[in-house]
Amino acid sequence: MIHLDELLPVLERISTQQRAISERLQKLIITFRQKPEPVELTLRILLKPLREGIDNIAEIIQSTSNPPS
């Protein structure tokens, strides 16, 4: 059972990370509009923090779903 006082900090953290992810996606949109040439390197650089944020969210959700015994 998950209590609300445990859930709220997790939701706040996920919300903060979601905002960061949205900012990264906006940068990607701007990059694609400005650079018609191949943008693989730029894309990799911009996606790395995005991937890390998603991985972090997944870890938080998993640890919340499976609390230590």
The pLDDT tens digits of the residues spanning 28-50 come to: 888 778 766 676 777 788 788 88
pLDDT of residue 31: 78
Per-residue model confidence (pLDDT) at position 67: 61
Secondary structure of residue 68 in the 3-state scheme: coil
Per-residue DSSP letter, 61: H
CA angle 63, 57, 45 (to 5 degrees): 140
Question: Quick one: CA torsion of 41, 47, 52, 55, rounded to 10 degrees?
Answer: -130
| % of the chain surpassing 90 pLDDT | 0
Among 4-8, 11-15, 65-69, top mean pLDDT goes to 11-15
- What's the average model confidence in pLDDT over 45-61? 84
